[in-house]
Amino acid sequence: MKLKNASPLIVVSILGIISIILPVFILGNLKPYESPLFPLLRTGIEGISKYSFLFLLLSGFIVKLFSDAPSWKIGLMSMVLFPLAAICEMIADPTSHTMFPFEFIGYALYTIPALAGAYTSQLIKSFVKAATRYFKK
């Protein structure tokens, strides 16, 4: 991996966490869940909302708009910290994630909004680039 692509991927990982946690504060009426290490993350995942998906979409769009990182990496990195957090919780309390394979499939599905945002941004960038090339002639 090129070092110039590392920082956008780190940024999108952090934005992925924020995209899931921020609606917990926006909605306010979500039932708080207990968790061995990360109760706020669990509350965000259990109470996932349209705001979470919107924030993930915007995260992928904005990061791709300002970077040359591949769109598929942006999508995957938007949710990479969630399986890592789940593994840490399973180490801390082996009974906490009894359905973890399905949980990881859910995390894979949650990459779709960030992927869609990144590919949309890539498409818009290519149209703008083609239009500027066309009008320069």
pLDDT single digits (tens) 3-21: 566 889 999 999 999 999 9
Q: Could you tell me what percentage of the chain is helix, strand and coil, using 3-state DSSP and rounding each to the nearest 5?
A: 75, 0, 25
- 1 token code pair: 């991996």
DSSP 67-96: --S-HHHHHHHTSTHHHHHHHHHHHH-TTS
pLDDT single digits (tens) 64-96: 999 999 999 999 999 999 999 999 999 998 888
What integer is the mean pLDDT of 122-126?
94
Residue with the bigger pLDDT between 123 and 47: it is: 123
The pLDDT value given to residue 2: 54
The torsion of the CA quartet 113, 119, 124, 128, rounded to 10 degrees, works out to 150
Average pLDDT, the chain: 90
Q: Percent of the chain scored above 90 by pLDDT?
A: 70
Number of neighbours of residue 109 by Cβ within 10 angstroms: 10
The pLDDT value given to residue 4: 64
Q: What type of residue is 23? A: P
Strand ranges, E, within the chain: none
